[in-house]
Structure 1
Amino acid sequence: MKVFVTGASGFVGSAVVKELLSNGHQVVGLARSEESAKSIREAGAEVLMGDLDSLDILQKGAREADGVIHTAFIHDFSDYQTNALKDQKAIEAMGEVLKGTDKPIVVTGGTLGLPLIDGKITEESKAPAESIRFSEKAFVDLSESGVKASIVRLSPSVYGNSESGFKGGFGVMLAELAKAKGFAAYIGEGNNVWPSVHRADAAKLFRLALEKGEVGARYNAVNNDKQLSMKEFAELIGEKLDIPVKSLSPEEAPDYFTWMTFFVGADCPATSLQTQEKLGWQPSERSFIEELDQYFF
């Protein structure tokens, strides 16, 4: 299958490209710079120059491919709504040229902040209509219009080694923040939890969703192993860095966490049981704590 991958040089997207190529697919990766194009070519994929504002280029990539995996996103969380709207428009543009075909498109979402069902975020958890989770809205609209669209919803901590070193999403950001502040922190009692997933496991899920995904399906990229509470995670950071650990009130939290305050306070006890059953996906990489211990601390 010829697959058009946006975000092909990114942390998750580059792992997706590697996973696709190693499983016999041909890949065309979107690149917004010569540096990105170079890394995509070195991985063994073709390059299409453009970015999320180049809707005509995105449509060209989707039209000429047998399927699309959309991992690109502008990771400026200080202007999340603007960037989420750009993401929605990009998905809609690619979906428009897929209407009337059986070509699959797999878009990217997140588990963080979704409603709980029986105490867990499951594949049945849906973003409220008034939320700004625009990729999920776009995926639903495409599915209802007959496009073979599905969504992979990433854990808040996507971790693993890449060419630029070890990364771990919000988890590493919190460890770096604690190191800079001189103490680790959590909000209130800190009982809220975050799941995680290794980038290689996430990439495998994207491939399986492309190959076997159902129209309108939601897949959770979540490692079901023990998910630490924010208090437990702060205590781990404190132990590893030999720094104090403090509980902050909701009023104190913004001074410490700044733009991450909402995310840090969110409860995300997620599961991927249905995803594993439907696609045969099984996380097999080392846990976030094992990777963090080796590559960060």
Structure 2
Amino acid sequence: MQVFITGASGWIGSAAVDELLADGHTITALARSDASASALEAKGVRVQRGDLDDLAGIARGADAADAVLHLANKHDFANLALSNAAERAAVQTIGDALAGSDRPFLLASGVAGLATGRPATEEDTSPLSGPDAPRGGSENLALEFAERGVHAVSLRFAPTVHGARDHGFVAAVVAAARERGVSGYPGEGANRWAAVHRSDAARLVALALNKAPSGARLHVVAEEGLPTREIAEVIGRVLDLPVASVAPDDVATHFGWVGPMLSMDFAATSTTTQSLLGWTPTGPTLIEDIEAGAYSTPVD
């Protein structure tokens, strides 16, 4: 297939590109910078210059493709309204371009807010709807296009997709430990984070493109949920730092932008996804990655 990808040079996207190329797909990727364009072209990817605000370019890319994989997000935590609006506009644009074609449209989502007091499952519908919702309610918007002849699939990623050179949430928690001189966890540290290794996530994306039915909600999750206290303890061991609870009122100051997410419970299962796609995670666990030094060197 000819696949159009947004976010192809990102942490997950760059690994997914490698998997899709290995499976024999050809790829056109949206690239914002010269560095991203050069890295993608070196892999044999056709580059289309633009960003999430270039809706006309996104429409052209989607219209010319056999399938679309939407992984990009502005991730502007200082202006979430801007990020949410851009996400919703991009999803609307892709859906409109694919309407009536039955072509696959896979988009990145997450497991946040799906369930309370238990691990989220694929049967849980997202409560996030409408333009003012987090991520612009993009999952529900995309899945609505299934009724308009689009093969829509939601990829709900674990909050941490880990591995060497990760610069996401766990890297931010490690950076806070270095800066504060203590590896902290919020409150009692009983809230849990689901996790998946980057290599496993990329393979699931490739499987989903070929095997996932329209309307599917897939959980890109290998570990159901690690208590934040356990994560802090292994970070403390690796960095040789004390480990301590951080009071709820101090979480934002101690951890910075990642604090609110670290305080939430993000547990989720992937039993249905594994059975549906024949996907079995084989990569290192989050604890194994931290112990092996994946986060020992600060990422620029």
Do they superpose with TM above 0.5?
A: yes
1:263 shift after superposition: 0.3
Deviations 1:102-151 (A, max 9, x none): 110100001133224x7211111222145424221322322233311011
Amino acid at match of 1:102: D
Whether 2:84 is the aligned partner of 1:59: answer no
Residue 260 of structure 1 aligns with which residue? 258
Count of residues paired in the alignment? 291
Amino acid at match of 1:6: T
State, as a whole percentage, how many aligned pairs show the same letter. 40
Which one of the candidate residues 147, 151, 154 is aligned to 1:151?
A: 154
Q: Distance in 1 between matches of 2:223 and 2:290?
A: 18
Residue 193 of structure 2 aligns with which residue? 194
Whether 2:27 is the aligned partner of 1:24: answer no
Residue 132 of structure 1 aligns with which residue? 134
The two structures have a TM-score, normalised by structure 1, of: 0.93
The SS at the match of 1:47 is strand
Q: How does 1:187-266 map onto structure 2 within 5 Å?
A: 187-224=186-223, 227-266=225-264
1:187 shift after superposition: 1.6
Deviations 1:211-261 (A, max 9, x none): 111121100110136x32011111111222222222122112222123222
Amino acid at match of 2:244: K
Amino acid at match of 1:286: P
Gaps of 5+ in 2: none
Q: 1:296 to 1:257 in 2, by over 3 A?
A: closer
Verify the 8 A CA contact 1:152 1:205 in the aligned structure 2: no
CA root-mean-square deviation: 1.6
Q: Distance in 1 between matches of 2:41 and 2:167?
A: 25
Q: Distance in 1 between matches of 2:248 and 2:269?
A: 27
Q: 1:49 to 1:221 in 2, by over 3 A?
A: same
Amino acid at match of 1:70: H
Amino acid at match of 1:274: T
Verify the 8 A CA contact 2:235 2:290 in the aligned structure 1: no
The SS at the match of 1:108 is strand
Residue 50 of structure 2 aligns with which residue? 50
The two structures have a TM-score, normalised by structure 2, of: 0.92
1:80 shift after superposition: 2.1
The SS at the match of 1:18 is helix
1:5 shift after superposition: 0.9
Q: 1:190 to 1:230 in 2, by over 3 A?
A: same
88-97 vs 246-255, which deviates more? 246-255
Verify the 8 A CA contact 1:70 1:107 in the aligned structure 2: yes
Gaps of 5+ in 1: none
